[in-house]
Amino acid sequence: MFIDEYISGVAPAKGKILLVDDQVVNIKILHQLLQDDYDIYMARDGHQAIDMCKKVNPDLVLLDIEMPILNGFDVCAHLKSDPATKEIAVIFISGHFDEDKEVKGFNLGAVDFIHKPINPIITKARIRNQLTLKSQSDLLRSIALLDGLTGVANRRKFEQTLPVSWLQCCREQQPLTIILLDIDFFKLFNDTYGHTEGDACLRKVAQTIQDTVNRPYDLVARYGGEEFICVLPNTDLTGGTYVAQQIVDSIIALKITHEKSHISDYVTLSAGVATIVPVRNKDDKILIEAADKQLYLSKERGRNRVLGVQLP
């Protein structure tokens, strides 16, 4: 159900292309050729190219090989080693055909080579083909990272996202918060109303959490059977606890009848919150473990509540 809706809801977007060349004239030629069909960004050196990739997340990089300080191969290797940029397609721009360089480029993860002088028809066709392939690949990857029942991200997506958020907050020295949520007495709900109603309950809860955690760079994922997890970059403990309480309150407001619950007439959630300012020599798993401990304490102290901790 949710997969079909996801596919049908995808609208074609203008591709984003980053042009990287230390020669202004080469950038101008490509910009003039592509500006009507794509959103174009430009960089004059390798370091600027890496920064731009992190900021705008282009679909495709047209990358000159011969550049001072950081050449095209170095840039490509850096992009492919970073989880935040490794899916960006790279086409090398080369001044002449060199089989050894092409082998090296493909081994680094490039998808194609374009040779100077630029042939407009061939260049546009190759770019169009690669963007089509990347769009299809992105769609399939997105579907694979969705939970089929609830429509939110799945655990695999969470496991991909947390290290990226950790590194980003580490670089920026910003707090990172995780919220771990569990539906109270969900087994009793399933035993009372059946698995069909249980599935419907999970979908309503997931959608409500998603509606509450609504910043574009936050993540809501199904973590286990009736467990959900939220990743909130640039969020301190006060902010994370507030969001968690908003979620808990919004689930009560749904008034999903749960006559076998020991604490309410309706479905409720318990939440554990953990916050840290990440550092490189720490494992991101300590944040999950801390949130899980707070969730355990929340349940032990009566459920339908939020408990949180700030890690040193």
Return the active site residues.
226
| CB 292, CB 272: distance < 8 Å | yes
- CB count within 10 Å of CB 95 equals 12
Q: In the chain, count H helices and then E strands.
A: 11, 10
Separation between Cα atoms, residue 174 and residue 232, nearest integer Å? 11
| CB 60, CB 134: distance < 8 Å | yes
Tokens of 197: 């109603």
Tokens of 125: 């066709």
From the centroid of its chain, how far is CA 293? 25
Residue 45 pairs in a beta bridge with none
User: Strand 269-276 vs strand 176-183: parallel, antiparallel, or unpaired?
Assistant: antiparallel
